[in-house]
């Protein structure tokens, strides 16, 4: 009996790719009409809020029904509604973003609301359908990739998107690590590899050391709100400026005009990736007193490069920090891997070559390399262990700690620690007979609340009533291989586990089974100290 295949899914901001390993060879599964490899991560809903189109056909609806066509949802998956990036998304996205429970985000479509992970699950389901059609058998297990800098809530939300689609998610793996795996690094001599991953909505920079089938991540950095979409927005701002200058109108007062301009920016970017100059002509676009008039503009690649230069520059500021954290310089890197569709932009590739002083690896399309690496990892889970099975040693993308007095955070787990990792901390009662303790958990780059993200709150309850400072609760924080947090606590005097509630902000009721960790053991069940 042929074993059920295990999928590798790159759930991207702009596109989603699914791969599988057959007969020891990774292959990207054809989708839609059988000639494409990329599924646009776009879902179109009908007037009643039911998802009716997914992929290319849904993407076409952005012009006609922008408020009911959801794209780039990865930019806000696992985000809190109060996060500053959500404010930017509300201004940029044509569909309505609203506040859900627990500071979560929902996409509002008429009378229906969907969480970002629910929207993502529709895309994953469609990818599974294409895989079943191609393979002749349904696949219900997968490895899903995420940006290396995704935080706790974003990783949990991605896991849950897979579960909502009916998948058994074997592993959440960082996109840069998957890319290195696809290129076969680790099977050769010791090398230091830089993965420059610029996708539609996110940027990651990861430094790995590879040896004897081990891929050891030394450092990682990134921005989950920086990517090709920002290049599109830079072009859009220029088009808006040009229209207002030529026609003396305020584009923001004409939503249909703004939307049409916005839908052209990606095509302009693609055209200027392949050509030195492009002329854009949009018929009957500009509203006039009697009839609408045409709009045209000539754009050169040089002008495009000027517009997107600030976006590209931000990526190299992250590269600087990531190399510094690995205690390396650009000249120490043996190989460079480009990942993501935005790395096709000539300016990006030129700047990467200038920065590292070498040509990037070639042979695999930048859009498909992550999915192929995920499939290779997925396949290794399905095989009997052998000496050349890949070993991935990923790291914590952000430091994790608990809030203390003022702006200070007591860091429990440092950034760039190898996963899995666990640390313990002792908590006590601040007042006499205190029955519960609330602890705020933060993730960030350092030890200040003002520079970190409030991840959520942990509550220790049903505590023994004792005088102030006499209770000693040992709390163990564990980040697993997926980078997902697990918490356990034990009363040091009685060796009994405590009741814990872990609330991760940004995750709504549909994530309840993921965000609640409640352990209640009977009074006669001692635990090892």
Give the model confidence (pLDDT) of 74-128 as tens digits.
999 999 999 998 999 998 899 999 999 999 999 999 889 999 999 999 999 999 9
What are the E-state strand segments in 30-140? 39-40, 43-45, 51-54, 69-70, 96-99, 105-109, 112-114
DSSP assignment of 90-108:
HHH-SSEEEE-GGG-EEEE
Q: How many angstroms separate the CA atoms of 456 and 458, rounded? A: 7
**Which residue has tokens 């309840």?**
512
Shared domain for 301 and 315, answered yes or no, is no
* Assigned domain for 203 exists: yes
Q: Judge whether residue 528 has pLDDT over 50.
A: no
Question: Where is 23: in which H helix or E strand?
Answer: none
What are the pLDDT digits (tens) for 310-324? 999 999 999 999 999
Shared domain for 47 and 60, answered yes or no, is yes
Active site residues per annotation:
10, 74, 175, 197
How far is Cα of residue 272 from the mean position of the Cα atoms in its chain?
27
* Assigned domain for 192 exists: yes
Beta bridge partners of 195: 206, 337
3-class state of residue 170 by DSSP = strand
Could you tell me which residues come within 8 angstroms of residue 257 by beta carbon, excluding any fewer than 6 positions away?
243, 251, 285, 286, 287
pLDDT for res 387: 56
3-class state of residue 356 by DSSP = helix
What are the pLDDT digits (tens) for 368-400? 999 999 999 999 887 654 556 778 889 999 999
pLDDT for res 525: 33
Shared domain for 144 and 65, answered yes or no, is yes
Cβ 481 vs Cβ 419: under 8 Å = yes
Shared domain for 89 and 169, answered yes or no, is yes
Q: How many angstroms separate the CA atoms of 407 and 124, rounded? A: 40
Q: pTM higher than 0.85, yes or no?
A: yes
Give 510's pLDDT tier (boundaries 50, 70, 90).
Answer: low
* Assigned domain for 493 exists: yes
Shared domain for 136 and 178, answered yes or no, is yes
Shared domain for 197 and 259, answered yes or no, is no
Shared domain for 208 and 347, answered yes or no, is yes
Our count of domains for the chain comes to: 3
pLDDT for res 520: 37
* Domain membership of residue 10 as a residue range: 6-226+310-393
- Given 393, 418, 435, which residue is the final one in a domain? 393
Shared domain for 332 and 458, answered yes or no, is no
Q: How many angstroms separate the CA atoms of 329 and 200, rounded? A: 27
Task: Output the six-digit token pair for 342.
Answer: 């935005």
What are the pLDDT digits (tens) for 11-43? 999 999 999 999 889 999 999 999 999 999 999
What are the E-state strand segments in 189-249? 191-198, 203-211, 214-223
Shared domain for 10 and 83, answered yes or no, is yes
């Amino acid at each position: 009996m042929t074993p059920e295949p295990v999928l590798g899914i790159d759930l991207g901001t702009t596109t989603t790719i699914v791969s599988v390993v057959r007969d020891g060879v990774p292959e990207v599964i054809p989708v839609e009409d059988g000639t494409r490899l990329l599924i646009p991560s776009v879902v179109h809903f009908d007037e009643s809020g039911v998802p009716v189109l997914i992929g290319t056909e849904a993407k076409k609806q952005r012009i006609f029904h922008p408020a009911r066509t959801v794209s780039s949802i990865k930019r806000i998956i696992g985000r809190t509604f109060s996060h500053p990036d959500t404010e930017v998304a509300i201004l940029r996205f044509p569909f309505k973003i609203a506040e859900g429970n627990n500071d979560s985000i929902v996409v509002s479509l008429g009378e229906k609301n969907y969480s970002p992970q629910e929207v993502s699950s529709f895309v994953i389901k469609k990818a599974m359908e294409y895989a079943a059609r191609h393979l002749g058998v349904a696949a219900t297990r997968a490895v899903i990739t995420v940006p290396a800098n995704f935080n706790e809530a974003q990783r949990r939300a991605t896991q849950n998107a897979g579960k909502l689609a009916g998948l058994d998610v074997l592993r959440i793996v960082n996109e840069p690590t998957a890319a290195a795996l696809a290129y076969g690094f680790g099977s050769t001599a010791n090398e230091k590899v830089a993965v420059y991953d610029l996708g539609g909505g996110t940027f990651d920079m990861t430094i790995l050391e590879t040896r004897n089938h081990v891929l050891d991540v030394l450092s990682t950095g990134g921005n989950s709100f920086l990517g090709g979409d920002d290049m599109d927005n830079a072009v859009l701002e220029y088009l808006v400026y040009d229209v207002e200058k030529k026609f003396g109108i305020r584009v923001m007062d004409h939503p249909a005009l703004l939307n049409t301009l916005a839908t052209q920016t990606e095509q302009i970017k693609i055209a200027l990736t392949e050509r030195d100059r492009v002329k854009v002509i949009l018929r009957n676009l500009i509203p006039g007193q009697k009839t609408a008039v045409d709009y045209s503009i000539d754009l050169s690649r040089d002008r495009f490069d000027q517009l997107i230069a600030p976006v590209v520059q931000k990526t190299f500021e992250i590269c600087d920090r990531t190399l510094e954290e690995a205690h390396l310089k650009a000249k120490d890197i043996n190989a460079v891997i480009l990942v993501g569709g935005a790395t096709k932009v000539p300016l990006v590739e030129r700047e990467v070559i200038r920065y590292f002083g070498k040509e990037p690896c070639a042979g695999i399309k930048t859009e498909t390399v992550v999915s192929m690496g995920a499939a290779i990892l997925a396949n290794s889970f399905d095989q009997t262990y052998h000496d050349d099975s890949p070993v991935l040693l990923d790291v914590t993308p952000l430091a994790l700690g608990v809030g203390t007095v003022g702006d200070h955070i007591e860091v429990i787990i440092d950034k760039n620690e190898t996963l899995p990792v666990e640390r313990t901390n002792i908590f006590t009662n601040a007042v006499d007979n205190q029955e519960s303790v609330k602890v705020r958990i933060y993730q960030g780059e350092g030890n200040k609340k003002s520079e970190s993200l409030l991840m959520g709150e942990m509550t220790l309850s049903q505590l023994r009533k004792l005088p102030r400072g006499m209770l000693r609760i040992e709390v163990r924080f564990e980040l697993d291989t997926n980078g997902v947090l697990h918490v356990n606590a034990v009363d040091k005097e009685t060796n009994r586990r405590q009741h814990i509630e872990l609330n991760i902000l940004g995750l709504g009721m549909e994530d309840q089974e993921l965000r609640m960790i409640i352990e209640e053991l009977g009074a006669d069940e001692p635990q090892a100290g």
